[in-house]
Amino acid sequence: MTQKFAAPRAKLSELRGQLHEQRWDDHRYYHHSVINQSLHFVSAVTFIVAYLIVWREPAIAALLGWGVAMTSRQAGHFFFEPRGYDEVNDCTHEHKEEIKVGYNLVRKVILMALWAAIPLVLLLDPTFFGIFVPHVGVLEFLDHLGKLWLVLGVGGLVFRTVQLFFIRDVDTGLVWATKILTDPFNDFRLYRQAPAELTRRALARLPARAR
């Protein structure tokens, strides 16, 4: 009986090890800035809310996910994370980008460009190539936009997962997809202290008279 479950347990342990490695690499390589960590906390809270409502209000969940969670998350990476030589990990930014399992900054630019283009296309063609009945009013526009952003999010996840099946292996793709889906909970745990630390540092820079 023990031998029957030994192989599945060993495989599960291996996958957990890969998940831990991907999470650790993501944290140590791409989350040095306390501002970035704070924005990831905001993103995590927003994504968790989106997860709670996605089955009942998919469009609203997608609007929250892309409009708040993803923008705050990627702003942290693009504007606040240092891109010089990483003294802590003894590697260059280019090396980190090359070994990144998921969406590195170049891939994120493409993904975010698609995200930004969708509302523009929807404004120019309210049917979005025949998918919708043209919207009437802002609320219907936002409903259609949310649904399209939801498809983009799911599509981006599935595309990179399947791509990893071919350029790496199936295990890497499945572990990465699991990491992405559970990142909000992991980021909440990792970065929940970051906003308080950011506030403390900001107050420390103020002149004594202004505190």
- Position 159 confidence tier, pLDDT thresholds 50, 70, 90: very high
- Residue 204's pLDDT band (cuts 50, 70, 90): confident
Tell whether the torsion through CA atoms of 12, 18, 20 and 22 is positive or negative.
negative
132-to-56, 99, 105 alpha-carbon distances in Å: 20, 40, 32
Please indicate whether residue 49 or residue 87 has the higher confidence score (pLDDT): 49
Token pair for 173:
């793709």
Q: pLDDT by residue (tens digit) across 97-124?
A: 998 999 999 999 999 999 999 999 999 9
pLDDT at 211: 52
Q: How confident is the model at residue 208 (pLDDT cuts 50, 70, 90)?
A: low
Q: What is the pLDDT of residues 5-56, one digit of tens each?
A: 566 778 888 999 999 999 999 999 999 999 999 999 999 999 999 999 999 9
Of 67-81, 105-119, 195-209, the poorest mean pLDDT is in 195-209
The CA R_g of the chain, rounded to the nearest whole Å, is: 20
Treating both helix axes as pointing N-terminal to C-terminal, what angle do 2-30 and 170-191 enclose, rounded to 10 degrees? 60
Inform me whether the pLDDT recorded for 210 exceeds 70. no
Residue 205 has pLDDT above 90, yes or no: no
pLDDT value of residue 12:
87
The pLDDT mean for the chain works out to 93
